[in-house]
Structure formats: C-alpha cells, structure tokens
Structure 1
C-alpha cells in the first residue's frame, strides 16, 4: 500500500466527517449563515498566509529537486488561484484591514498552523510535506463531490468551483506521486512521522469546520 493510500485509510473517519460536516453541507445547500462563512474566511486568511510560507520553507530544507519544484509550483498556484479568489471574496463582503486586525486568531487555526511548522523542527522536510497534503487533497475531493449539484448561493458556488477543476486534480495527482516515492525511500521512523503528520492535519481540517460553525474563541 502506498503512503497516500495508507494515510488516507488512517484518516478516513476525519475525511468522512468533513464530507458530512454541517458547514460543508449547508454551504452546498446555500444555507450556510453569512456570519459563519465570514468567520471562516477570516481564519482561513491566516491559515493560507502561513500555508504559502510553509511551501517555501520546506522547499528550502529539502534536497529533493523534484519536491522543490513541486512546492514552488504549489506556492505560485496558491497565489494565482485560491488566494486571488479569497481577495475577491473579501472585497465583495467588505472585509477590510480593520476587521482583519480586530478578529483574533481562533485556537484551531493557531494550532493547525503550529502543527505544520512543528514538522520542520521535530520532523523532517518529508513529514512537513506530508502534513501539507490533506488541505489541498480534501478540498479537491469536496469540490468534486459538490460540483455536480452545485450551490444556489453564488458565492458558495464559486468556493466549490475553486477546488473542482482538472488543474486541482492534476496537482493532487503529482503531489501524491511524490509523497509515495518519498515514503518508499524513507526510514521506518520517518515513514511513521509522515503518517502522523498527515493524520493530524486531517483531524485539524475537520476541526476547522467546527471552529467556523461555533465561531470559536479562546
């Protein structure tokens, strides 16, 4: 069994929980409360800011040239795709600098980002890379699941479309192939670190939906 097959199996309950989560289901139905989506976007802004930085940091630490190239491509795609869409959302919802500064980072957003940075200290570049995959892969699967029916809410429909395209699927395919190879080349200890990083990130993805619907505060 490859790394991504094994890791996905280990994290299955959290992925299934994400697919059925009230946030995701309400978004698809067009019934997600505006204040919940707004809070999600504000927390996601913090998360994606660091997610982009992590791509660059991991690329600096790894010696694998194929991984370096993929991480830099991921960072550029994030800038041109998801981050650009988020800027449009912020503009349309009139989310400005004042609101951003006055909105405290929620515990889950803080812990998720901290978990990924920790891989660069206590783990390895490979485990750090593994911990990045659940976000993109899970969102891509959610996009594919939701795109056929779509959402009656224009903003939520655009959120779905961001992750349902062929480019996203191709990116995940390439990333999975790299991680599967890295796993095969790693020691047993590093393999376990990669699995643990992936599973924790999957848990945090589920917790991120919970954070949003509960408007989580410290």
Structure 2
C-alpha cells in the first residue's frame, strides 16, 4: 500500500468530512447564534452515543488479540471517562438536564444507526475494522475544535465545547490512533483494508448526519 490507510480513508471521505465544518450546527455554534434547544438536544443524543462509544472501546479491547490495539483502546476508554464524560457532566449541570429528561428522550434514528454501525464492525467484521470505525469521531472533532479555536464563540458553553477538542492532547491522541491503525492495516489482508476504508467512510457520513439530526431535532 503506497499511502497510509488513514490518508486513503480521509481522501475517500473528503466531502462529508469538510461538509461538517460548514454545517449550520457548527457555524452557528461558533457564531453564538445556535438555538440553545438544538444544543440541548445534541447533548442528550451525544450522551447515548458516548455511552456506547466507551463500551465499544472496552469490548474491542476484550476481543482483539493484538496487544498494541488492546492497550490503546484501554487508554482511550480511561481518557473518555476523564475527558468527554466529565465535561458532559458539567454541561448537564449548567443546563439542568436531569435523569428524568435523559430517560424520557428517545434515541434518534441517526444516533441509533451510527452506534449500530460501529457495533456491526466488531461483531460482523473485526476488532481492527471496529477501531477504524471509531476514528472519525475523534479525528473530526479535534479538527473542528482546532479550526474554530481561532475565534471565540460569544456563548460560554459553546466555547467550552470548542475548547474541549482544541487541545494539543486531543491532537496527539488522534495522531497516535492513526499511526496504530496505519501500522496494523499494513499487516492485514487487502479485503480487511477495504473494510477499514468502508467503515471509516460510513462513520464520517454519520458524523455529518449527527449534526443534521441535532439541528432538526430528528424523531422517528
């Protein structure tokens, strides 16, 4: 393979990747004009997504035979607890999002489909393909955070959201994940490499749809 697989995956997913930067959810969040009820709905759906994102780290780590992948995923799981989960708890307190509201908010179709897609990669494909399906979330959010960090949002909680991804730690974490997937992909078959590209592309499309879902407050 002449190019690294994460470079190929990025190229394959270029349009939905860059469309995310231009989505009204992102541009209005940055400008401070995003309807607070949209951000609230996003947080409620993201809570479900992150809950399963964390479970997937643990499940993939349990099922992989590769020591490097197992170690990286265990590290990511711990980082998620200390990072996004902790920040979301702050957001939920600030916005008075209660357990009752969480329980009474149905999981939206896009949230359900995105999470189901990642589980499918583990149970139908392989731990490596499943790990690759999780990479767009980390990578895209880091790039969006870095892109938006050049100018502050006038809404403090929106700026907190941006700041949580515009960190050197997040950037280094993505670089580490990419390097590992690139390394392991070189050791696998062309068929699995193609599965990695497909899983990555679908996840990137689902990332864009997640903004759409939040913005429209999507329901069944």
TM-score w.r.t. length of structure 1: 0.99
CA-to-partner distance for each residue in 1:26-49, whole Å, 9 max, x for gaps?
A: 000011100000000000000000
Give SS of 1:133's match: helix
Q: Within 1, Cα distance between the matches of 2:152 and 2:169?
A: 19
> SS of 1:183's equivalent?
helix
1:145 maps to which of 128, 144, 147: 147
SS in structure 2 at match of 1:81 = helix
Corresponding residue number in structure 2 for 1:97:
99
Q: C-alpha separation between the residues in 2 aligned to 1:65 and 1:183?
A: 15
Report the Cα distance in structure 1 between the residues aligned to 2:122 and 2:141, rounded to whole angstroms.
24
What is the distance in 1 between the residues matched to 2:15 and 2:67? 34
Among residues 110, 114, 118, which one is paired with 1:116 in the alignment? 118
1:66 Cα offset (Å): 1.1
Alignment of 1:1-218 (within 5 A): 1-218=3-220
Q: Distance in 1 between matches of 2:104 and 2:204?
A: 28
Supply the distance in 2 between the matched residues of 1:54 and 1:22 (Cα, whole angstroms): 29
- 1 CA distance for matches of 2:219 and 2:92? 21
CA RMSD across the alignment = 0.5
Return the offset for 1:150.
1.9
Deviation at 1:23, TM superposition (A): 0.2
Question: Per-residue displacement from partner, 1:167-196 (whole Å, max 9, x unpaired)?
Answer: 001100100000001111110110011111
Ranges in structure 2 where 5+ consecutive residues have no aligned partner: none
In the aligned structure 1, how far is the partner of 2:81 from the partner of 2:53? 11
**Runs of 4+ that moved beyond 3 A:** none
Shift of 1:121: 1.5
Distance 1:122 1:58 in 2: 12
Q: CA-to-partner distance for each residue in 1:13-62, whole Å, 9 max, x for gaps?
A: 00111011000000000111000000000000000000000000000111
Q: Is the partner of 1:217 in helix, strand or coil?
A: coil
Matched residues, number: 218
